[in-house]
């Protein structure tokens, strides 16, 4: 996996005002070749390219531990880590009369679905659905999968979820009670009441499925 990013950070601090904001634009893509023995490397070897939903950062979803490898029908759907744009800003202002005014805002690009797959009738091109090993054990044939990438590459046709926008605000006041101080705060979360999918359901990249 190759990652390039451009990041901007702006910070301002005065006696009463604090501002911290940052923006990141990321370019991520897979480089190299297929994982050894991935069924897709035999079935659709030219479909490697992917610069959108490229899978979970926790482990390797394209390994042979996942039946069918990257053609399992569910591989690389967990891709919220690879969004291209992220903007966040937090501010706080200590106003007169011991008032606190604060806000934080986040805007994130929608997550990608991962490679779009479809199913096809199996024609036996890559052998029978099961194989018998030399010790007599019967195992499934990973090349007999009926899943296929629906487009020329894994990058093509991916679906992007809506942008995620979250805005929270706080109004507070410090009240002196003798030697003690009482801080009272009112928080309002998700002021705009917006919601967005942050991850696709397992199988949400399959054509013809309710997911």
- Sequence spans of domains, the chain: 2-188
Q: Which distant-in-sequence residues (6+ apart) come within 8 Å of 140 by Cβ?
A: 67, 129, 130, 131
Q: Which residues pair with 3 in a beta bridge?
A: 28
pLDDT at 116: 95
What pLDDT, in 10s, does the model give residues 5-31? 999 999 999 999 999 999 999 999 888
**Residue 52: how many CA atoms within 13 Å on its side-chain side?**
19
pLDDT at 65: 46
pLDDT band at 198 (very low <50, low <70, confident <90, very high): confident
From CA 114, how far away is CA 78, in angstroms rounded? 7
pLDDT at 209: 86
Mean pLDDT score, 27-56: 90
The residue written with tokens 């029978």 in the block is 128
Instruction: Let me know: does 30 contact 50? Beta carbons within 8 Å.
Output: yes
Mean pLDDT score, 150-169: 95
Is the per-residue pLDDT at 60 higher than 80?
A: no
pLDDT at 70: 87
What pLDDT, in 10s, does the model give residues 111-148? 999 999 999 998 888 888 888 888 999 988 888 889 99
Q: Which distant-in-sequence residues (6+ apart) come within 8 Å of 46 by Cβ?
A: 152, 153
Instruction: Let me know: does 24 contact 41? Beta carbons within 8 Å.
Output: no
From the list 139, 128, 148, the residue with the least C-alpha distance to 39 is 148
pLDDT at 68: 67
Mean pLDDT score, 147-168: 95
pLDDT at 137: 92
Is the per-residue pLDDT at 207 higher than 80?
A: yes
The pTM assigned to this predicted structure is 0.80
Query: pLDDT: is 129 or 153 the higher one?
Result: 153
pLDDT at 56: 76
Mean pLDDT score, 70-86: 86
Q: Of 6-15, 71-80, 156-165, where does mean pLDDT reach its minimum?
A: 71-80
pLDDT at 64: 44
């Amino acid at each position: 996996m190759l990652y390039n990013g451009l990041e901007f950070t702006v910070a301002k601090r005065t006696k009463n005002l604090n501002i911290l904001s940052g923006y990141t634009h990321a370019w991520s893509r897979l480089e190299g070749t297929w994982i050894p023995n991935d069924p897709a490397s035999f079935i659709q070897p030219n479909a490697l390219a992917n610069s959108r939903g490229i899978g979970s950062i926790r482990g390797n979803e394209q390994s042979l531990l996942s039946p069918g490898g990257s053609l399992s029908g569910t591989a690389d759907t967990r891709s919220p880590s690879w969004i291209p744009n992220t903007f966040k800003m937090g501010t706080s202002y200590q106003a007169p009369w011991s008032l606190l005014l604060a806000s934080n805002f986040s805007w994130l690009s929608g997550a990608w679905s991962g490679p779009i797959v479809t199913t096809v009738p199996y024609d036996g091109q890559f052998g029978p659905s099961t194989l018998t090993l030399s010790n007599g054990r019967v195992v499934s044939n990973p090349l007999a999968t009926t899943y296929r990438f629906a487009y020329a590459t894994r990058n093509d046709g991916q679906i992007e979820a809506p942008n995620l926008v979250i805005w929270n605000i706080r109004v507070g006041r410090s009240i002196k009670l003798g030697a003690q101080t009482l801080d009272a705060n009112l928080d309002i979360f998700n002021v705009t009441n917006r919601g967005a999918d942050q991850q696709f359901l397992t199988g949400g990249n399959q054509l013809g499925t309710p997911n």
